Chain A
Amino acid sequence: MEEDQELRSGEENEESLAKNNNYSSAEKDRLFNNEFLPHITSMYNFAYRLSFDEDDAKDLVQETYLKAYRFINSFQQGTNAKAWLFRILKNSFINEFRKRSKEPTKVDYQEVETYYNSDEVDETITTDLRVDSLQHMIGDEVTTALNSLAVDFRTVIILCDLEDFTYEEMAKILDIPIGTIRSRLHRARNLLKERLNKYALSMGYKDQNNKP
């Protein structure tokens, strides 16, 4: 079943199917309260940064936790609960929210995919961005720059830089190979840098050529 597939914990699929658990009520409650609920702030912020909408974020998080509870027997104790929850949330977002997403910049998913999958080497993006202009930026500018990225690029940056997932964990959360994580991150970072550079320029930090 599709839902079952999306809920398997990060382990190899066949393996984790074979060792489905049968937790007691007390164990379920313990897992839920001690391993799942502590991640709710990260989950809610991830959901908000995907959907840009507080109600959608709330629904996503609620749905994720309910799914996590219903399928708690496919969670392997000792594996990464946060990664498991993020994976469920990401899949819920794709399945139900993306269609009616309130993103300001609608992205043609196919186009984005084609872009990733092309073997084209990134053209070198040379920006004037400097450390001191970054240090002058305020949260709003960083937020706007991040939010302006297509959802797949935004996602890898959130998972890596805000949530500190490893490439391997990200590969499991997003169901893509590590090599794709690496290249997608690389592109995402180049795009982010470009956006930040635009802000820096608009703020008047364009003295790259005059630097000592």
Chain B
Amino acid sequence: MQNTNCPEVEKCLELIHLVLDNEAPAEQENYLTEHLEMCMQCLENFNIEKEIRTALKTRLENKKVPLDLINTIKVKIAEID
């Protein structure tokens, strides 16, 4: 680990988002991987962004679909036909 003050921290953060969203081209992803080996600040940002995504995926409560909803929809559709 070398620098703790990345001169391009905002740009790197944008790239971190692209990479975590699987939207970055391979060469940009490689660039980030190399950069993270040297830049502690960006590595920390990367870990935080990753953890936020995990939290969203795993901690949010999913509502159960009300039991009668599918049935109501099917009945209404039968009326259309």
Contacts and interface: CB of A to CB of B under 8 A. Distances in A.
Interface of A: 25, 32, 37, 40-41, 44-45, 48, 54, 57-58, 61-62, 65-66, 69-70, 121-122, 124, 129-131, 134-135, 137-139, 142-143, 146, 157, 160-162, 166-167, 182, 185-186, 189, 192-193, 196
Contact of A124 (B9, B57, B73): B9
A146 B53 CA distance: 12
Contacts, number: 97
A166 B76 CA distance: 33
A66 B62 CA distance: 23
Given A65-B73, A137-B55, A157-B56, A45 B21 contact: no
A138 B76 CA distance: 40
Nearest to B58: A139
A37 B59 CA distance: 25
B66 A54 contact: yes
Given A45-B62, A66-B73, A196 B80 contact: no
Counting contact residues on chain B (CB < 8 A from A), the size range is: 35 or more
B26 interface: no
A160 B52 contact: no
Contact of A25 (B59, B72, B81): B81
B59 A142 contact: yes
A58 B59 contact: no
A57 B64 CA distance: 12
Contacts of B47: 131
Given A65-B73, A124-B9, 15 more contacts: A41-B64, A54-B66, A66-B80, A69-B80, A130-B44, A131-B48, A134-B55, A139-B60, A146-B56, A146-B60, A157-B56, A160-B21, A162-B57, A182-B14, A186-B14
